[in-house]
Amino acid sequence: MTEPVEHTAISEYRFMVENHLKVIYPDLDHAAFAQDLIDIMCPDGQCQTPETHQNHWDQKNVVMITYGDSLLREGEHPLETLLHFSEEYLSNTINGIHILPFFPYSSDDGFSVIDYHEVNHQLGDWDDVNAIADKFQLMSDLVINHCSSQSEWFEQFKRGEFPGTDFFFCASPDDDLSEVVRPRTNELLQRIDTPQEPRYVWCTFSHDQIDLNFAEPLLLKEVVKIVRLYLDHGVQIFRLDAVAFIWKVPGTSCLSLPETHEIVRLLRTLIQFVAPQAMILTETNIPNRENLAYFGNSNEAHAIYNFSLPPLLVNALLCGSCQHLKTWMMSMPPALHGTTYLNFIASHDGIGLRPAEGLMDEDEISQMVAMMEQFGGRISMRSLAGGGMRPYEINISLFDAMQGTLEGEDEWQIPRFLCAHAIMIALEGIPAIYIHSFLGTHNDQEAVERTGHNRSINRHRWDYEQLQAVLADDEFSHAHVFKGLCHLLQVRRRQPAFHPNATQFTLHLGDAVFAFWRQSMDRQQSIFALNNVSNEQQIVPLSEINLIGTDSWIDLISGEIYSDLRADLVLEPYQVVWLTNLFDRE
């Protein structure tokens, strides 16, 4: 007699969870703990075996990154305002929204979570979150490396009470911590006097952000309860914030250890058996090779950030040469089906420099850093193993980062800015656009002075009525930027060759023209993306692009048709051309 499908799925589910637990916790009662986790994730016992190598995305997937209070209107929850803006202005442009941590917090603009189970009342409530999830694919942060020093768990720790007493990672000042890699300069350990004895808690990011102890299985169980809660409120993409740091072993780098990867695999298994369309995205701002490891064997992250893209692309537009960009792109493995890249060039943080290590030399990075400072940017530092500091991140509005080149400011800011996004939008992967890129927001120097934090420069809060006024008036750069980006994205959404997993090859048309070819998975559509990254006119003979002579070719952006394939294509400064043989005249 054939075993019921449901029973087969739950058996496989249990088997896989147990195997993950054997790696993470060798001495645990794996069967019993696996059942506890499964009971949390599917209390009704209903699950389904996920299909492998399935793409949960296509060319229509575009994510907007935003804080819950980036837009403010009197008498309305900021999350309500965000939904109104997204429906009115972006319903035909994006399909996903990444709301940065929307929980009660004590610092770091949300990334020091006090309570994972509640919505920050200054933003709205769960009904507001649910309303957004009903209309857009919702991405939420799962901030599990650390939590706030004001959380109930840490209050329990300080009182020596269960369960919080074991929920935080502690070390000794006598431990060998010389190899620890981290992106901050504050003291790593913080002394806390507890009723039993003084203990030294681990603080990767700040003394208000206390690192959690995943060596304690009960903590993992609490995290799984949070995952289930978020699924119940419509979260479809889980962004694992700072996940590379979650497992610590003194005497090592404490970065991307084997247990860390196994926890990511466990979370994927737990989620995909009950929500097959849900995705895991790992946020690992580390050198490129280490970042790629989070794909695993197509069994870890569904998507990883293309962290090397922002510094390489900004550098290309500063110096008018795509040499490093081409070298990097040729070295990037195509994502297997069921995995993809998340492409971005601006976010709530800054332009990370660690992902450029090994791809740009130190003099080039220093040159870029110096020019970004001239354009109003700030520089955040990190501590090096064994002492010393190095630039970690450039904090700047991307719009202001595009003010000029290494030669200084010029008149090409808007075309340069749109060129940067056109490149990112056309690459293999899912594009993610920061709300302040959509709006062409400038550096918010007042916010930096007010908060004392460099990252505040790119976290402006707009008055909604003021925003509506500037978006409606072509006298403002904001209107030109918004219309330009929306046009590019709306064109992208209709092209099968821009599927995140469609074929991609680098073309070699000189250092000033960054060019690549995309081909749809059914091989019916080709798109040649030609991008002038310089402030000078470039001429590209069409004969060098290998266009098929029997097809008609059109630039999807301008609508210009190219019928004479022996002619020259003239690219003005920062002009982008998407040449295709199959097009929608919509």
Annotated catalytic residues are 241
Query: Is 261 labeled as ligand-binding?
Result: no
Query: Is 463 labeled as ligand-binding?
Result: no
**Selection from 424, 425, 365, 377 nearest residue 402 by Cα:** 377
Query: Is 231 labeled as ligand-binding?
Result: no
Distance between CA atoms of residues 406 and 277, nearest Å: 45
**Selection from 24, 18, 14 nearest residue 214 by Cα:** 24
- Phi/psi at 526 (5° precision): -115, 145
User: Is the previous residue joined to 431 through a cis bond, with omega within 30 degrees of 0?
Assistant: no
Q: Which residues contact 306 (CB under 8 A, 6 or more apart)?
A: 341, 342, 343, 344, 427, 429
Query: Is 220 labeled as ligand-binding?
Result: no
How do beta strands 389-395 and 96-99 pair? unpaired
Query: Is 211 labeled as ligand-binding?
Result: no
SS3 per residue for 299-351: CCCCEEECCCHHHHHHHHHHHCCCHHHHHHHHHCCCCCCCCEEEECCCCCCCE
Q: Which residues contact 442 (CB under 8 A, 6 or more apart)?
A: 397, 399, 400, 460
Query: Is 241 labeled as ligand-binding?
Result: yes
- 352 in Cβ contact with 311 (< 8 Å): yes
Which residues, listed in sequence order, are joined to residue 191 by a DSSP beta bridge?
200
**Selection from 481, 446, 466 nearest residue 71 by Cα:** 466
Find the farthest-apart pair of alpha carbons in the chain and give their distance in angstroms, rounded: 82
Query: Is 460 labeled as ligand-binding?
Result: no
In angstroms, what CA-CA distances link 391 with 357, 383, 395, 418, 583? 11, 9, 11, 27, 45
Report which secondary-structure segment, H or E, holds 190.
Answer: strand 189-193
Question: Which residues line the annotated binding site for substrate?
Answer: 108, 146, 239-241, 348-349, 455
